């Protein structure tokens, strides 16, 4: 059974150094927000069902808020916290492996719900007659804290990403939600609760989730007020009539409902897509974390009390994290990470061929590279020292090839494309020719973005590595999973041809129409910061000595739009249609 990795008792053994439209009602300007522009117009039009995400970025800050407040009226605060089951799926990944010092990385899924289950949430989110529909997880971010607590990585997944949602069981009433392919990821929250979103993330990324934290509309507002506002920046005057956000050019401080407007604004930023909103949320989160770490907004006991109340009332967490003490210990771990070693990213994506104007899917190659870095506890900023193979535990010796049983699945299909015909049997035949006599091909349909090789028992790791070597698979693709009966190879969408796995982690992009650069695949023109205009940039690239750029295997890909936690120069680009 998985134990809490946010609990101090466990850490004591470790080193001590260690794309839908959204509307919102207008809001009047707060008297305390002197930097912000004039008052916001009154009621705005509301659309039922399609609510722009407002940003659970405050979620990462909630833990820090609890930490800052310490143990003020401990039992009272404990009673504020709502708790739910961590994972509602049938299959759960093993916890991340410990490093040579026995320390484990920590993975926390942050969720923002558009629930209208209270008057406060209805007032802020609108659509009162939509209050009874299942909530949507419109903000989803995975926070990965390295095993040695030296760095932190954050991955956002766009709310309109089409994925496979696994079978989930509601812990309250026992209702079973069957697994479905081709669903939008934000709907997973309605399949029994946040535990189904956790199961969906594990299915998508292969990253084990240790905890989740969820917040709603009212929680964002109360947190923004409690910390006294958060500094943001826009490159020109902005007015978004959908969210109600109105700000003058330059650095401004937003709080309360205006902070919610910032976090929900989509049309006013960049090209009006959901990706621009994600960038705005990353800016907000970075600024808020810097403030809380510096303590500048938490100078008196009254503020600390307000922050503790706001943080605990705003939270729904997994049962293993459901106390102030555990949140405090978790916050202590997070606070040890220097802000300069925090990297915010967005899952690399391409337009969904089935609905290119509204939905996206993971970008072949780049998305798996990002997930793999986090799975293997490699910092996204490229500053990690290369791991010495001698310091890592060695795998047990492999059995003779003729005795190693392997099952091969063809997972090259997607939610919108059929699999490559005969791919599984082709690879199975190749392995047989290499001497692996006990190889079979299973025709059961699979859809998987990345190629994986799993083994059921630790003693079989050496066998699995022998198979991986024969196929040219990197060690990062080899995983332990008690869910398989024998060594299992799933050929993903990143390997659609040939008998040796591509060294760049994906097939030739010219063979995949979904990877053709367009304004919809994160390569729109004019994004000077991230180099997403198709030209080689510095982030995630290294020179090969011939004047060309090659991907850096130990750094986040450019298409993930990495943002450093110390970056105070970032300023949101305002959509020309929303300038005044």
Question: Is the per-residue pLDDT at 273 higher than 60?
Answer: yes
Average pLDDT over residues 287-301: 68
Element (H, E) at 125: helix 119-125
Those residues whose C-beta lies under 8 Å from the C-beta of residue 197, and which sit 6 or more positions away, are 109, 111, 137, 140, 185, 188, 189, 212
Look at residue 3 in the predicted model and tell me its pLDDT: 43
pTM: 0.67
Mark whether 116 and 39 lie in a shared domain. yes
Is residue 233 over pLDDT 70?
yes
Pair (329, 223) in one structural domain: yes
Buried/exposed 60-74: b ≥16 CB within 10 Å, e otherwise? bbbbbbbbbbeeeee
* ∠ Cα 275 516 153 (to 5°): 40
Check residue 102 and give left, alpha or beta (phi > 0: left; psi -120 to 50: alpha): left
Tell me how far CA of residue 489 lies from CA of 166, 423, 469, 471, 499, in angstroms.
20, 12, 13, 11, 13
Q: Who's near 332: CB < 8 A, 6+ residues apart?
A: 8, 67
Residue 251 in any domain: the answer is: yes
Looking at residue 41, which CATH number applies to its domain? 3.40.630.190
Higher pLDDT: 571 or 97? It is: 571
Residues 144 and 227 in one domain: yes
The verdict on 465 and 364 lying in the same domain is no
Sign of CA dihedral 95, 100, 102, 108: negative
Per-residue pLDDT at 63: 56
Tokens of 489: 């190879």
Scanning the structure block, which residue is given the tokens 């916890």?
95
Give the separation between CA 14 and CA 102, rounded to whole angstroms.
6
Q: Check: CB of residue 22 under 8 Å from CB of residue 264.
A: yes
Could you tell me which residue, 568 or 306, shows the higher pLDDT?
Answer: 568
Same-domain check for residues 125 and 210: yes
Q: Are residues 345 and 401 located together in one domain of the fold?
A: no
61, part of any domain: yes
Cα–Cα distance, 396 to 394 (Å, whole number): 7
In a domain, 295, yes or no: yes
- Among 237-246, 367-376, 480-489, 546-555, which is the least confidently predicted range? 546-555
Question: 86-96: per-residue pLDDT in tens?
Answer: 999 988 888 88
pLDDT surpassing 80 at residue 242 = yes
Position 415 scores a pLDDT of: 67
Looking at residues 43-69, what average pLDDT do you find?
41
Domain annotation covers residue 276: yes
φ and ψ of 141, to 5 deg: -140, 135
DSSP state at residue 498: S
Of all residues in the chain, the percent with pLDDT exceeding 90 is: 39
Same domain, 314 and 436: no
Residues in the chain, how many?
580
Owning domain of residue 358: 33-375
| Domain-embedded: residue 570 | no
Q: Are residues 60 and 190 in the same domain?
A: yes
Phi, psi of 197 (to 5 degrees): -65, -40
Q: Are residues 272 and 349 in the same domain?
A: yes
387 assigned to some structural domain: no
Q: Are strands 152-156 and 137-145 parallel, antiparallel or unpaired?
A: antiparallel
Token pair of 302 as six digits: 């009254």
Q: How many domains does the chain have?
A: 2
Q: Is the dihedral of CA 440, 445, 450, 455 positive or negative?
A: negative
Closest CA to 124 of 115, 134, 135, 133: 115
Last residue of a domain, one of 348, 375, 402: 375
Q: Quick one: 462 and 365 in the same domain?
A: no
Alpha-carbon span 280 to 265, nearest angstrom: 8
């Amino acid at each position: 059974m998985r134990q809490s990795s946010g609990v101090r008792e466990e850490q004591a053994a470790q080193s001590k150094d260690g794309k839908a439209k959204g509307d919102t009602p207008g809001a009047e300007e707060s008297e305390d927000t002197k930097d912000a522009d004039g008052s916001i117009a009154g009621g705005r039009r509301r659309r039922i069902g399609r609510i722009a995400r407002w940003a659970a970025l405050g979620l990462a800050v909630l833990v820090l808020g609890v930490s800052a407040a310490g143990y003020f009226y401990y039992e009272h605060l404990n009673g504020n916290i709502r708790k739910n089951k961590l994972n509602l799926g049938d299959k759960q990944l093993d916890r991340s492996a410990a490093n040579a010092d026995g320390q484990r990385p920590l993975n926390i899924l942050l969720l923002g719900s558009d629930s209208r289950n209270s008057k406060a949430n209805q007032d802020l989110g609108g659509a009162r007659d939509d209050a009874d529909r299942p909530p949507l997880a419109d903000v989803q971010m995975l926070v990965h804290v390295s095993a040695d607590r030296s760095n932190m990585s954050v991955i956002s997944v766009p709310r309109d990403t089409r994925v496979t949602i696994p079978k989930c069981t509601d812990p309250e009433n026992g209702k079973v939600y069957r697994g479905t392919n081709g669903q939008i990821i934000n709907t997973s929250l309605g399949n029994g609760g946040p535990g189904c979103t956790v199961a969906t993330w594990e299915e998508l990324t292969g990253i084990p989730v240790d905890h989740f934290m969820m917040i709603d509309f009212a929680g964002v507002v109360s947190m923004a007020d409690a910390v006294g506002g958060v500094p943001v920046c826009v490159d020109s005057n902005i007015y978004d009539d959908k969210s109600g956000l109105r700000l003058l050019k330059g650095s401004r401080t937003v709080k309360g409902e205006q902070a919610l407007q910032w976090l929900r604004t989509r049309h006013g930023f960049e090209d009006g897509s959901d990706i621009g909103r994600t960038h705005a949320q990353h800016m907000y989160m970075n600024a808020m974390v810097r403030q809380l770490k510096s303590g500048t907004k938490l100078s008196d006991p009254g503020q600390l009390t307000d922050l503790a109340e706001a943080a605990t009332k705003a939270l729904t967490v997994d049962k293993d994290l459901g106390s102030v003490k555990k949140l405090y210990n978790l916050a202590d771990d997070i606070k040890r990470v220097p802000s300069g070693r925090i990297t915010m990213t967005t899952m690399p994506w391409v337009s969904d061929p089935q609905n290119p104007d509204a939905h996206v899917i993971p970008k072949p190659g780049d998305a798996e590279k990002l997930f793999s870095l986090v799975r293997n506890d490699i910092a996204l900023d490229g500053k990690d020292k290369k791991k010495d193979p001698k310091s890592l535990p060695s795998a047990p010796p492999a059995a003779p090839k003729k005795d190693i049983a392997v099952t091969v699945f063809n997972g090259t299909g997607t939610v919108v494309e059929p699999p490559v015909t005969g791919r599984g049997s082709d690879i199975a035949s190749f392995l047989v020719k290499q001497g692996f006599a006990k190889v079979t091909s299973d025709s059961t349909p699979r859809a998987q973005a990345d190629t994986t090789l799993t083994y059921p028992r630790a003693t079989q790791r050496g066998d699995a590595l022998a198979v991986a070597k024969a196929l040219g698979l990197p060690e990062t693709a080899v995983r332990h999973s008690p869910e398989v009966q024998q060594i299992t190879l799933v050929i993903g969408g990143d390997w659609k041809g040939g008998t040796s796995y591509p060294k760049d982690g994906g097939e030739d992009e010219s063979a995949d129409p979904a990877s053709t650069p367009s304004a919809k695949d994160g390569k729109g023109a004019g994004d000077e910061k991230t180099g997403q205009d198709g030209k080689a940039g510095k982030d995630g690239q290294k020179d090969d000595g011939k004047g060309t750029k090659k991907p850096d295997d130990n750094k986040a890909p450019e298409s993930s739009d990495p943002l450093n936690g110390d970056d105070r120069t970032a300023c949101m680009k305002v959509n020309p249609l929303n300038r005044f």
